[in-house]
Amino acid sequence: MSQNQELYHLDKLIGFVGDDPAAVANMVGIFLQTTPELLETINLSFNQKYAEKIAKAAHSLKPTLDVFGIDSLHIIIRKIEQKARAKEIDNELFELINKLNSVLEDVFNSLKINYL
């Protein structure tokens, strides 16, 4: 099973579900099903300036990104949640969400190639 070390690493996930390729693939499947939904919520809510929804979705996304070892988003997702809770719907938040979208898009593509 190859991994893109720059984008993500699945050590933590394997630590949770065991070194079982089927279990890992199953978890990747769930990730690819649930994460785009949360991402979409964040994007839509930003457009609608619905800070609370952004905060909630970011809060849900936080542990998932940690478990999938997407280290480049570790600080970004926390900043998004923090700013949304503070109702700071500004350009900085826009940039952070853009970064989130871009990294996750790469992660989705890579995971699809490697695991599906």
Q: Which of 52, 31, 32 is nearest to 41 (CA)?
A: 52
**Binding string, 62-101, against other proteins, x = CB under 8 A?**
xxx-xx----------------------------------
Chain residues 19-48 in contact with other proteins, contact rule CB under 8 A: 23, 26-27, 30-31, 33-35
Residues listed for the chain:
116
CA distance 37 to 35: 5
Asked if 60 is part of the footprint of other proteins (rule: CB under 8 A), the reply reads yes
Q: Which one of residues 59, 71, 72, 99 is an interface residue with other proteins (CB under 8 A)?
A: 59
Residues engaged in binding other proteins (CB under 8 A): 12-13, 15-18, 23, 26-27, 30-31, 33-35, 56, 59-60, 62-64, 66-67
